[in-house]
Chains A and B, each alone.
Chain A
Amino acid sequence: MQTLFEKIAAGQLWRFPGGIHPPTRKAELSKKPIATMPLPERLFLPLRQHIGVAGTCLVRKGDYVLKGQPLTVADSSMSVPVHAPTSGLILAVTDHTSPHPSALPEPTIVLEPDGLDEWREREPLDYQQCSTQQLLERIQGAGIAGMGGAGFPTHLKSASTRQIDYIIINGVECEPYISADDALMQEHASTIVQGIEILSHLLTPKAVIIAIEDDKQSAFHAMQAAVDDRQHWFVRAVPTKYPSGGEKQLIQLLTGQEVPAGRRPMDIGIMMFNVGTSFAIAQAVLDDIPLISRIVTLAGQTLQQTQNVLAPLGTTVSDLLYFCGFQPEPQQRVIMGGPMMGFTLPDLSVPIIKTSNCILAPTQQELPAAANEMDCIRCTACAEACPASLLPQQLLWFSKAKDQDKLSEYNLFDCIECGACAYVCPSEIPLVQYYRIAKSEIREQQREALKAEQAKARFEARKARLEAEKLERQQRNERLAAERAAKQNMDSSNAVAAALTRVQNRQQQAPDDVATINAEREHQKPQAGTQQSLTAEQPANTPQASEQDPRKAAIAAALARAKAKKQQQDTADTPEAPKAADTTAPEPEPATDPRKAAIAAALARAKAKKQQQDTADTAAPKAADTTAPESEPATDPRKAAIAAALARAKAKKQQQDTADTAAAPSAADTTAPEPDPAADPRKAAIAAAVARAKARKLKESESE
């Protein structure tokens, strides 16, 4: 028995079910050479021209770009960049009608060509010497997406990790009128073959099959000549039938294998590329020309010259049509894509993109608009024509009834929307439109269901979190209450004992402290001397000041030390302390002052706000205006600031109290403030903790 490979090598063809034979209307088109579109006045380049996500825009209004310069950067694997088709000025990055049946505006770069057509620097690669990674990066960087119509990023297909047995190059182009690939194969067969060689280099298949419909004889011969006698490369002429160019249909036609429902050809070891895609790959790798132009078929009897045009991407449909001598009828329809699968354009300012292969401007007579839809008569002509072996009439019923379970049971998602069923329908039912609506509704519902699931998960996570927080708060409150009770007990019984130990500690430390105090004095003396010399004109005041100073300074120093200790946890050096004493001595007052001032200011602001709220027509509307923006956003910070200030004031008071009490017993000698460091930090720490707790409480009550 022959193996599949032998059968393919022997030239066997299989057949796929269904299919139709509409008039092809290509004979005239395929004989003409490819015309080159002169640069239009404006190019509209949508950021997204393929299936996937748009890249991030790199240019801004007013930038000057060179031909082939990337305008977006691909920041995910599902994205490919777009490039400047010519050199010129970026006029805007704005929303523009998209080449999509919805015609919804999408972000688009508007480029004004400068006519110089100046290239950026180019770096051709030798693909034999390149790593796979380098080649794939080049293919992605050149912005190549499937040019047969779907626009799937090519680098993803070429990066297949699965063993690929067959590469199929699709030059079938079965839809009526369209002959862009035909023209490309006739004129650039050798470049296409180079592209296929790069793909084979990447995917290492057993064989390459190039499929061309048998009505394109010149393209077939051109390709055969270009392929020459390469081993395991087969150029096959396939019978003219619509839709033999469909991916799954062509695979069935060439290999007899069926791609399972919901799977991709890759899963059965087959990869298919359009001839246009392989041409673009060759250009990108060998000449470093990114995908910036494509061949578009311009057809229809309202055009004086129907022809294939090589046009820069971003050229508007109207520019292209008038280039071909467009003479519109009243209520002229213009179709993007072929007559079977294309869509009517609502607006001629739509640009052509990487996937646009045909613009059709037919006369009313040539391609009549849809007539009145009639009821289905159950003739099953559609089921016979369906290339995917579906039951279109059943799908129609279920689509109308929005019965989604039944629709998936009847495999709606295997429909390739080829339009064969609608073409044969005697009741002229636009079946495909119904399927498209049903498909988009099912997709939307799946999205909604997914979102609902996520929302539920988030809601439940939040509920759990809130409960945990509540429990934690409760536990903390209980713990704090217990602590407070314990502390109160201890305080009442142990106060005396604690006082005794404090005194003992102080006495133990006293000898050390005497030395430090002496050192302090030594330091202070020269300073006092300088001070005296400086304030010579006020001799009367100085003795008084020097009398008061040491005590105050000492207290302040203690405070400063406590602060320093708290902040840095390292013991203040003795030389530092007196200095601090000097500098901080006058501080307490100014320190309290700003705080007080801040509180006062806050109160004043609050009052002002109140007044403003109460009486809208105050005498000073200007003042109200100026305070308004200030006070509005500051509501919270002010409150918090006041609370913090209060807490700090309390802490200070406590600290001072403790300092005073500590100072009182040993007030007789000047060593008084010095013994405190041991007691002070502790007290200060407690006070600080209390203040913090209070602040937290305040915050909590605020947030609640």
Chain B
Amino acid sequence: MMSTALLVMGAIALLFGGLLGYAALRFRVESDPLVEQIDEILPQTQCGQCGYPGCRPYAEAIANGDEINKCPPGGEATVRKLADLMGVEAKPLDADAQSSIKKVAFIREDECIGCTKCIQACPVDAIVGATRQMHTVIADECTGCDLCVEPCPVDCIDMIPVAETAERWKWDLQSIPIRHIETN
């Protein structure tokens, strides 16, 4: 009796084990979905301020238990979302509180010597130019990571705030100025 029970149980265990093994192969997930989710949240500036070479490596590091507060471009909002996703407490940003004003790189073109160093530094290929030719930043593609500022040998790259346009303008009750209209 005992042996039949053992055999039956053993057979069932083998069957399910086989099924699970098959399922693991058949429905294999290519990459870690958690990393994907974290990568979605990160702002994709690829600036490396977290200490990792890009957003995805940082996403992998977070998935492996690194701190979630190392992304200054993402700001508090990103930290909050990461905290939600990872089920941990939201922390204040690790780096010094950076201004949240969006900036883009700007090359002072008469000073550019065409050394291509900034082109090599740009993580998103947002700088165009060729050796000994003037370079310029495609402002729409620039993520404002300021990785190009450091390598420039003639310091001709500035980070300038993105100009506010009427389309991007946010209604702000507080900021509507109340002005006196002169009476004459």
A331 at the interface (CB under 8 A from B): yes
Partner pick for B123 among A436, A459, A632, CB 8 A cutoff? A459
Interface range, A side:
35 or more
Inter-subunit contact A459/B115 (CB<8 Å): no
A348–B131 Cα distance when bound, in Å, is 51
Let me know if A437 and B170 touch, CB within 8 A: yes
Most buried by B among A106, A458, A461, A636: A458
With known contacts A104-B166, A637-B132, A703-B116, A459–B124 Cβ distance under 8 A: yes
Known contacts A462-B124, A636-B115, A703-B116: A98-B170 contact under CB 8 Å: no
Chain B, range 85-140, C-beta contacts under 8 Å to A: 113-116, 123-126, 131-132
B169 at the interface (CB under 8 A from A): yes
Cβ 8 A contact of A328, one of B39, B44, B126, B183: B183
Count how many chain B residues have C-beta atoms less than 8 Å from C-beta atoms of the other chain.
37
A328 to B176, CA, bound (A): 20
Contact with B along A627-660 (1 / 0, CB 8 A): 0000011011100000000000000000000000
Contact B123 A100 (CB under 8 A): no
B170 touches A444 (CB 8 A): yes
CB distance from B111 to the nearest CB of A (A): 9
Q: Do A632 and B172 form a contact, CB below 8 Å, given A330-B180, A453-B44?
A: no
* Those of A403-457 within 8 Å (CB) of chain B: 430, 433, 436-437, 440-441, 444, 447-448, 451-456
Q: How far is the CB of A522 from chain B (nearest CB, A)?
A: 50
A344 adjacent to chain B (CB < 8 Å): yes
A447 to B44, CA, bound (A): 13
Q: Which B residues from 147 to 166 make CB contacts under 8 A with A?
A: 154, 164-166
Say whether, besides A437-B172, A459-B123, A462-B123, A452 and B183 are in contact (CB < 8 Å): no
What's the Cα separation between A463 and B55 when bound, in Å? Answer: 13
A348 touches B181 (CB 8 A): yes
Rounded to whole angstroms, the CA-CA distance of A372 and B176 in the bound complex is: 16
B-side contacts of A635, CB under 8 Å: 113
Q: How far is the CA of A444 from the CA of B114 in the complex (A)?
A: 35
Q: Is the CB of B131 within 8 A of A455?
A: no
**Do B44 and A444 touch across chains, with their CB atoms under 8 A apart?**
no
Interface residues as binary, A671-682 with B (CB distance below 8 Å gives 1, 0 otherwise): 000000000000
| A437:B43 contact, CB within 8 angstroms | no
| Contacting residues, chain A, for B45 (C-beta < 8 A) | 455
Residue ID in chain B nearest A98 by CB atoms: B166
Complex Cα spacing A633 to B153, Å: 12
| Interfacial chain A residues near B173, Cβ < 8 Å | 430, 433, 437
In the assembled complex, A332 has its CB within 8 A of some CB on chain B: yes
A51 to B, closest residue via Cβ: B167
Find out whether the CB atom of A328 lies under 8 angstroms from the CB atom of B123. Answer: no
Which A residue's beta carbon lies closest to that of B45? A455
* B43, B125, B166: residue with the most chain A Cβ atoms closer than 10 Å: B166
Q: How far is the CA of A532 from the CA of B171 in the complex (A)?
A: 94
Q: B143 near A: Cβ within 8 Å?
A: yes
A334, B182: Cα distance in complex, Å: 12
CB distance from B122 to the nearest CB of A (A): 8
Q: Are B165 and A104 in contact (CB under 8 A)?
A: yes
- When the two chains form their complex, are residues A452 and B113 in contact, meaning their CB atoms are under 8 A apart? no
> Which chain A residues border B44 with CB–CB below 8 Å?
451-453, 455-456, 459
Find out whether the CB atom of A440 lies under 8 angstroms from the CB atom of B169: yes
Tell yes or no: A77 within 8 A of B by CB: no
Residues of B within 8 A of A452 (CB): 42-44
- The reply to whether B170 and A440 contact each other, CB–CB distance below 8 Å, is yes
With A437-B170, A437-B172 as contacts: A455 and B181 at CB distance below 8 Å: no
- Tell me, in angstroms, the Cα distance from A452 to B46 when the chains sit together: 10
Any chain B CB within 8 A of the CB of A118? no
Q: How close is A259's CB to chain B, nearest CB, in angstroms?
A: 24
B122, closest chain A residue (CB): A462
Q: How far is the CA of A348 from the CA of B171 in the complex (A)?
A: 20
Which B residues are in CB contact (< 8 Å) with A346? 176-177, 179
Does A461 lie within 8 Å of B55, measured CB to CB? no
Q: Are B113 and A636 in contact (CB under 8 A)?
A: yes
A478 at the interface (CB under 8 A from B): no
Is B141's CB within 8 Å of the partner chain A?
yes
Residues of B within 8 A of A448 (CB): 43
Residues of B within 8 A of A332 (CB): 181, 183
Task: Judge whether B131 and A444 touch: CB under 8 Å.
Answer: no
**B residues with CB within 8 A of A:** 39, 42-46, 54-55, 113-116, 123-126, 131-132, 141, 143, 154, 164-166, 168-173, 176-181, 183
* Selected A-B contacts with CB under 8 Å, 11 pairs: A101-B176, A347-B179, A430-B173, A440-B169, A440-B171, A441-B170, A451-B44, A455-B44, A455-B45, A632-B113, A636-B131
